[in-house]
Structure 1
């Protein structure tokens, strides 16, 4: 029997669970004298603990989804990976770097009219400097 009902909740014991603080619990086939499944947590030294006690002390137990295999992970990350390799499109890291690095744009040529004027040539600036000299700072 791989399911257990407690407080109206049916637990599938083939799956691992996580409590509200993130501690993972799993059933390894052991039961106590009352027939309650004993859950084990790798991070808690007091395990195994009966499922009703874990439920009471650590809050609701959330089933953990099965972890994906390496093939499932690769398929999710790059769905065309197999087709890309089969087509022969494989590049070295250096080729990839060249492909994604933008080409350097030439620096613009500046002429005299592109440069800002000197503040000393502006009459307002000269007036400001003279006011500092006359009024004394």
Structure 2
């Protein structure tokens, strides 16, 4: 039995849930003597709470969709990932080929060189030379 009916809502206990505050809850197969599933927050694994109590105290429980695997991510980004890798296109090479290397002469001069305290020091230094 992996479902539980509460307030007319069928909860699929094989999925994790998140409450309105963003706390994740999951069922680890434990039941209360009254037949209610005990939910556990991964941050507090030693304090299971009955599902009706979590539902009442923490608002509605939203089921979390299963997280996609690495293969599913690759398929979404590049459906022909194997052919892309076989052609020699590797992310590190693409990033290195596109990103320019900046040197110090690409940067604008610091405003502290001309104004402020450093500017004042430069005028004193210049006055000594004259």
Q: TM-score w.r.t. structure 2 length? A: 0.68
What is the match of residue 18 of structure 1?
18
- In 2 relative to 1, CA 27–101 (structure 1 residues): closer, same or farther, beyond 3 Å? closer
What is the match of residue 125 of structure 1?
none
- Let me know the Cα RMSD of the aligned residues: 2.2
Equivalence map 1:1-137=2 (5 Å): 1-44=1-44, 47-86=47-86, 88-90=87-89, 93=92, 97-98=96-97, 100=98
Task: Give the unaligned 5+ runs of structure 2.
Answer: 101-130
Residues of 2 paired with 1:35 and 1:91: CA distance?
A: 54
What is the match of residue 110 of structure 1?
none
- In 2 relative to 1, CA 93–61 (structure 1 residues): closer, same or farther, beyond 3 Å? closer
Task: Give the unaligned 5+ runs of structure 1.
Answer: 103-137
Greater mean deviation of Cα atoms: 56-65 or 35-44: 35-44
More strand by share: 2
